[in-house]
Amino acid sequence: MKLCVIPGDGIGHEVVPVAVGVLQAVLPGLQLVFADAGWETFCRYGKALPDKTLEAARACGAVFFGAVSSPMQLVEGYRSPIVQLRRELGCHANIRPTLSLPLTVCRQGIDLIIVRENTEDLYVGDEQFDGEVAVAIKRITRSASLRVARSAFEMARHAGRQRITIIHKANILPRTDGLFRDCAREVAQDYPEIVVDEMLVDTAAMRLAQAPESFDMLLAPNLYGDILSDLVAAFGGGLGLAPSLNLGVTAAIAEPVHGSAPDIAGQGIANPLAAILSAAMLLRIWWQRPELALLVEQAVRATLDAGIATPDVISPGVSTQHLARAVIDRLKQE
Amino acid sequence: MKLCVIPGDGIGHEVVPVAVGVLQAVLPGLQLVFADAGWETFCRYGKALPDKTLEAARACGAVFFGAVSSPMQLVEGYRSPIVQLRRELGCHANIRPTLSLPLTVCRQGIDLIIVRENTEDLYVGDEQFDGEVAVAIKRITRSASLRVARSAFEMARHAGRQRITIIHKANILPRTDGLFRDCAREVAQDYPEIVVDEMLVDTAAMRLAQAPESFDMLLAPNLYGDILSDLVAAFGGGLGLAPSLNLGVTAAIAEPVHGSAPDIAGQGIANPLAAILSAAMLLRIWWQRPELALLVEQAVRATLDAGIATPDVISPGVSTQHLARAVIDRLKQE
Ligand SMILES: CC(C)[C@H](C(=O)O)[C@@H](O)C(=O)O
Ligand SMILES: CC(C)[C@H](C(=O)O)[C@@H](O)C(=O)O
C-alpha cells in the first residue's frame, strides 16, 4: 500500500507528518513516497506541480496533500497545483463533511456533507483580458455533473443519508447551473429512497448560517461548494477541524480544507486534526477500511474529551506535537 | 417628486403598499406611478419587464421594487426583470446594509454594508448549451469595477466608515476577479483615510459566519455580493429585515432583499420592515433627506422596542397591517 505525500507550503509541513504518522500507526505496512508542490516549488523549479510529483501521485493512487500558498496576483506560468492535481488525477468529487465535535467552538447538532464538483465550473482556468474587459468561462458538462451526482448518491446510499440538496443559481444561469441541477435530478431517479430538493446558492448561504443542522447532504458545482464549505467550517470549529477527500476512480487525495496559514507557520501550533480527519476519510472511503477510520476518529474524540487541542479551538491550547502525541497514544490504547 | 412603484409578485403586493405609505407620510407631495413586472406579468403579456414599466421607471428616477418570482427552469423569452431593471437604469451599485436590531433573532453588534456590483459578472446572461457542454460568461470590466468602487469609497467617506474589504477569488480568477480587485485598489488611493484590505470569497464566507461584527464595508462583484449578503442577512434577523438600494447616477431602486415568498403570500403576515427600511435608504441616499430617513428608522426601532413585529421575528407576531399601523403611528408622533 502506497501513499504519495505532498506537504506543500507553510503549515502543510507541520500537519502532514502528523496525519501520516497516524496512518502508519494503523497501517504498519504503508509505503510513503514524498513529493513537492506549491509556491516554494514554483519559485525553485518554475512549476507549482512538477511532472515528477504528478507521476508519483498517479503511481500511488492515494495522495496526502497538505496546503499550498497561492499568489493573489497574476503570476505568469503559475497555476494552482491542487486544482491541477484534482483534475489530472480525475478526482471528480470533493467530499467535505462537517460534524459537530465536543468543543465550545463548535455549533452543536451539525452532521452534514458537502459534495463539491471538483474539475470544472470557473476553475477551468479559461480567462482573457484585453485591458478593459476580462472574461472567464464557467463550464458545466453533462458528463462531469452526472459523475459527481452519481458519487454523491452512492455515498448517501452507503452512509444511510436521507436527503440531498442540489445547490445552483438556475434563476440566473438556467443553462449551466440548470444543467448541473437536471443531471443531479436524473441520477436521483435511481435512488428513490433518498429525498431530493434544490436550493439557490444565496438561499443556501442564508439557511446554512441560520440552521446548518437542518441539512443532510449538499451537492454543489465547484465554486459554490468552495464557498459554502468554508461557511459551514466556521460552525464546525473553524478550518483547523475541517477535513476533505478528493475522490476519483483511480485516485483519491486527502486534503485538509485549510490553507498554508503563513501567519502561524513555523510556530508549532497548527491544528493537525483537519489533516488527521482527512486521513480517516482516506481510510474509510479510499482504502475501504471503515474500522480503522473509526479508530482514528475515536482517538480524536477521546483527545478532545480530555481537553487537549491546539489554541485555535481550546484555551489554553497545546502544541501541534503535543496534540499529535495525545492522539497517537489514544490510538495505541484502543 | 415622483416614485415608480412596482409591487411585482407574491408578498411584493403586501409589503410595497406599506413602504409607500410610509414614504407618503414623510413626503406628502410624493406622486406615485404604478407599473407591472414579474412572473404574473410575463404570463399575461409575454414580457417580465414591459417597455411601459421601463419607461415609467426611467421617467421617475426613483423606483420601488417589491419582489418577483422567477422560474427555476429555462423559460424561452423570460429574463429576470430585476436584473434587467438594474442594468437598464444603470444602477451600478447594490447597497446592502446589515445592522443588528433589538431583537433576539438578531445577532448583536453587526453594523456592516455590502456594496455589490450590479450590472455584470455572471449576471450578463451570456450562456450557451450544446446538449453536452454548457458555458456561461463571467464578465468583469474596468469601467464597471471602477464605478462601483468609486460609489463604495464615496459612501464610506460620507458615512464615516473606516475600512473596506475587497472580495474576490483572484487565486483562481486572476484576470477577472483580479481586475475587480485592482480597480478597487486604484480608486482607494483617493481615499487615504479608509483602510483597505482584501479577502477571498470563501474565507469571507467563513469570517462572516464566525465574526460578522468584525467587518465594516465589503465591496464585491455581483455574484459574491449576492451570496454574502444573504449569508449576513441570516444574522440580521433574516430576509424580513434586510433592505437594499440599487444606486445609479440617474436612477435608484429601493428593493427589499427578500423574494416573493409564495409560501406565505396572501396570508397577511409578510414582514414589511425590509421594504420600509429600503424606503429609508431611498430617502437618505437618493433624495438626500437623511433627517426623514432617520425618522423612519426611529419609528421602526420604537415599534420593535414595543415588542411589535411579524411572526418571522417575534412570537407571537402581528399581521403586516398591524405592524404597518404601529410604525406609521410612531412616525406621526415623532
Ligand atoms: C486554494 C484554492 C485553490 C482552493 C479552492 O478554491 O478550491 C481552496 O480554497 C479549497 O477550498 O480547497
Ligand atoms: C432574484 C435574483 C435574480 C436576485 C439576484 O440574484 O440578484 C436576488 O437573489 C437578489 O439578491 O436580489
Query: What is the model's pLDDT at position B3?
Result: 98
Give the rounded percent of residues in chain A with a pLDDT score beyond 70.
100
What gap in Å lies between CA B237 and CA B304, rounded to an integer? 12
Give kind and range of the element (H or E) at residue A136.
Answer: strand A133-141
For residue A68, which ligand has an atom nearest its CA? 1
Residue with grid cell 471538483, as numbered in its chain? A118
Q: What is the largest CA-CA distance in chain B?
A: 63
A14 touches chain B (CB under 8 A): no
**Stretch(es) of chain B classified as CATH 3.40.718.10:** 1-99+237-334, 107-235
Q: Is the Cβ–Cβ distance between B280 and B243 less than 8 Å?
A: yes
Mean pLDDT of A158-172: 96
Q: What are the residue ranges of CATH 3.40.718.10 in chain A?
A: 1-106+237-334, 107-235
Minimal C-alpha gap between B127 and chain A (Å): 6
pLDDT of residue B71: 87
181-200 of A, contacting B, C-beta below 8 A: 181, 198
Query: B230 an active-site residue?
Result: yes
CB A298 near ligand 1, within 6 Å: no
pLDDT in tens, A303-320: 999 999 999 999 999 999
Q: Which tens digits make up the pLDDT trace of A249-268?
A: 999 999 999 999 999 999 99
Q: What is the pLDDT of residue B72?
A: 82
pLDDT in tens, chain B (334 residues): 999 999 999 999 999 999 999 999 999 999 999 999 999 999 999 999 999 999 999 999 999 999 999 888 889 889 999 999 999 999 999 999 999 999 999 999 999 999 999 999 999 999 999 999 999 999 999 999 999 999 999 999 999 999 999 999 999 999 999 999 999 999 999 999 999 999 999 999 999 999 999 999 999 999 999 999 999 999 999 999 999 999 999 999 999 999 999 999 999 999 999 999 999 999 999 999 999 999 999 999 999 999 999 999 999 999 999 999 999 999 998 8
- Confidence at residue B232, expressed as pLDDT on a 0 to 100 scale: 98
For residue A8, give the C-alpha cell.
506543500
Beta strand A245-247 with A217-220 is unpaired
Q: What does the pLDDT read at residue B70?
A: 85
Q: What angle do CA A65, A71, A76 make, to 5 degrees?
A: 105
What is the phi/psi pair of residue B313, to 5°? Answer: -120, -15
Exposed / middle / buried, residue B288 (Cβ in 10 Å: 0-12, 13-18, 19+): exposed
The pLDDT > 90 percentage for chain A reads: 96
Q: With an 8 Å Cβ cutoff, is A260 touching chain B?
A: no
Q: β-strands B93-99, B111-117: how paired?
A: antiparallel
Provide the grid cell at B91. Answer: 444602477
Q: How many angstroms separate the CA atoms of B189 and B261, rounded?
A: 42
- Ligand 2: does its nearest atom lie under 6 Å from the Cβ of B82? yes
Which bound ligand lies closest to the C-alpha atom of A82?
1
The Cα of A146 is separated from the nearest Cα of chain B by a number of Å equal to 11
A119 contact B CB<8A: no
CA of A136 to the centre of ligand 1 (A): 17
What DSSP assignment string belongs to B126-190?
-EEE-SSEEEEEEEEEHHHHHHHHHHHHHHHHHHT--EEEEEE-TTT-TTHHHHHHHHHHHHHTT
Task: Indicate yes or no: CB of A83 within 8 angstroms of CB of B172.
Answer: yes
Which residues are within 8 A (CB) of B315 and not within 5 positions of it... i.e. 6 or more apart? none
Region A70-83: what's the mean pLDDT?
A: 89
**pLDDT tens-place string over residues A183-209:** 999 999 999 999 999 999 999 999 999
CB contact A241 to B (< 8 Å): no
| Ligand 2 center to A170 CA (angstroms) | 11
**pLDDT band at residue A71, thresholds of 50, 70 and 90?**
confident
Nearest-Cα distance to chain A for B129, in Å, is 6
* Residue A308: strand, helix, or coil: coil
CA nearest B113: which of B176, B63, B158? B158
Closest Cα partner for B112 from B242, B295, B291? Answer: B242
Omega of the bond leading into A316 within 30 degrees of 0 (cis): yes
Amino acid at B68: V
Q: Is the pLDDT of residue A277 over 90?
A: yes
Q: What is the pLDDT of residue A42?
A: 96
A226 catalytic residue (yes or no): yes
Q: Is the CB of A83 under 6 A from ligand 1?
A: yes
Q: List CB contacts (< 8 A) between A75 and chain B.
A: 174
Radius of gyration of chain A (CA): 19
Closest alpha carbon to A327 in A25, A6, A7, A14: A25
Question: Is it the case that residue A142 has pLDDT exceeding 90?
Answer: yes
Cβ separation of A134 and B135 shorter than 8 Å? no
Look up residue A297 and give its three cell numbers: 476518529
Are B327 and B22 contacting, i.e. CB atoms less than 8 angstroms apart? yes
Which residue from B minimizes the CA distance to A79?
B172
CATH number (3.40.50.720, 3.40.630.30, 3.40.718.10, 3.30.1360.200) of B1-99+237-334 reads: 3.40.718.10
Q: Which of residues 142-181 of B touch A (CB under 8 A)?
A: 142-143, 169-176, 178-179, 181
Q: Which residue of B has its CA nearest to A239?
A: B206
For residue A169, the chain B residue with the least C-alpha distance is B72
Query: pLDDT confidence of A74, banded at 50, 70, 90?
Result: confident
Residue B308's pLDDT is: 97
CATH number (3.40.718.10, 3.30.360.10, 3.40.50.12780, 2.40.30.170) of A1-106+237-334 reads 3.40.718.10
Q: What is the pLDDT of residue A150?
A: 98
Cβ-based neighbours of A332, under 8 Å, separated by 6 or more: A25
The CATH number of domain A107-235 is 3.30.750.24: no
pLDDT recorded at residue B90: 97
Alpha-helix runs per DSSP H in chain B: 12-26, 39-45, 51-60, 81-88, 142-159, 176-188, 201-210, 222-235, 273-281, 290-305, 320-333
- Whole-number Å distance, alpha carbon A226 to ligand 1 midpoint, is 7
Contact with chain B for residue A132, Cβ under 8 A: yes
Total Cβ atoms within 10 A of residue B105: 18
- A215 in contact with B at a CB cutoff of 8 Å? no
Identify the DSSP state of A107. P
For position A70, what pLDDT does the model report?
A: 85
pLDDT at A146: 98
A182 is catalytic: no
Per-residue pLDDT tens over the stretch B138-164: 999 999 999 999 999 999 999 999 999
A36 catalytically annotated = no
**What's the mean pLDDT when you consider all of chain A?**
97
**Candidate from A128, A202, A229 with C-beta closest to B175:** A128
A141 touching chain B per CB within 8 A: yes
Among B141, B175, B202, beta carbon nearest to A226: B202
> Which pLDDT does position A73 carry in this prediction?
83
Confidence bin at A231 (pLDDT 50/70/90): very high
CA–CA min distance B22, chain A (Å): 28
Residue A124 touches chain B, beta carbons under 8 Å? no
Which ligand has an atom closest to residue B123 CA? 2
**CB distance B169–A223 less than 8 Å?**
yes
Q: Which atom of ligand 2 is nearest to the CA of B70?
A: 1
Which residues on chain B are in Cβ contact (under 8 Å) with A83?
Answer: 172
Residues pairing with B217 in the sheet? B113, B164
